[in-house]
Copies of this chain bind each other. A is one copy, B any other.
């Protein structure tokens, strides 16, 4: 399931290599999402038998998916930006400070001395924009902005790219958001919002797994909410719980009490029971955490 950075960085690198007179093409285990057609369809691959395999934005060899069996022992060069990268290639270019693999590929293309063009710039911009939530997230560095400024010089349609990436929702996404927001309840003086997503809601909305990306951000996005809880139904009495918080609430501690875990502001666990029982169980722990915070005030 390649994302904007995986595709942006790989197509930019491939395009640069072709400009250098190399035979190069991009391969991916999965079908490419149509929203990236504006650059993926514009790189023409020559016919050839590959001698050198490079991986881009792949943090773990497992993520090669359907291509793993064929290629895992043959990767000569891995280009990545995940600090959690698990070494698998003969050579590694890892920049854990880069917001996107596209930042690494930008550096490499410069180093190779290849002239940037609109296709390369659009691919790299897409990688950077998608991995940073359009320069919104904390992984955005001054260098990220400087690269964006340089890429814009090549005549890319960045506001159209951003519209496709950030301002377009599928009908399925719209339907599940509507249903999820309708099911959301507020508790403890509106400091907690809890949003159940049942299998019925998923079925009725006709949404795909991709449509659910980031939906767990909704409950915490309401002003004043310190703990946002999303309950996703897995089976009749089986719920996957995602909690998001703002300091000082530590949801990893709350989830640990229910045999889960995670980070201070993003954690998860599983609970069993009817929806009513699951909510009651979760809210009991959230209540305790909020009371502890009130005491400290």
Contacts and interface: CB of A to CB of B under 8 A. Distances in A.
Interface of A: 133-138, 140-146, 148-150, 152-153, 158-159, 162-163, 166-171, 174, 177-178, 181-182, 184, 186, 190, 217, 221-224
Contact of A150 (B136, B142, B174, B184): B142
A222 to B, nearest CB: 5
B158 A149 contact: no
A145 B184 CA distance: 38
Contact of A182 (B137, B182, B186): B182
A158 B140 contact: yes
A149 B142 contact: yes
Nearest to A162: B136
How many monomers of this protein are in the complex? 2
Contacts of A149: 142-146, 149
Contact of A174 (B146, B168, B222): B222
A165 to B, nearest CB: 9
A135 B159 CA distance: 9
Contact of A145 (B133, B137, B146, B163): B146
A206 to B, nearest CB: 13
Which of A133, A135, A166, A171: most chain B Cβ within 10 A? A135
A222 B175 CA distance: 10
A133 B165 CA distance: 14
A138 B138 CA distance: 23
Contact of A141 (B138, B152, B162, B224): B152
Given A221-B167, A221-B168, A221-B169, A159 B136 contact: yes
Q: Which 4 A-B pairs have the closest CB atoms?
A: A138-B159, A145-B149, A142-B149, A145-B145
A102 to B, nearest CB: 15
Contacts of A136: 134, 159, 162-163, 166-167
Nearest to A137: B159
Nearest to A172: B223
Given A133-B134, A145-B145, A146-B146, 18 more contacts: A134-B136, A135-B135, A136-B159, A136-B162, A136-B163, A137-B159, A140-B158, A140-B159, A142-B150, A142-B152, A142-B153, A143-B149, A149-B149, A168-B221, A171-B222, A178-B181, A178-B182, A182-B182
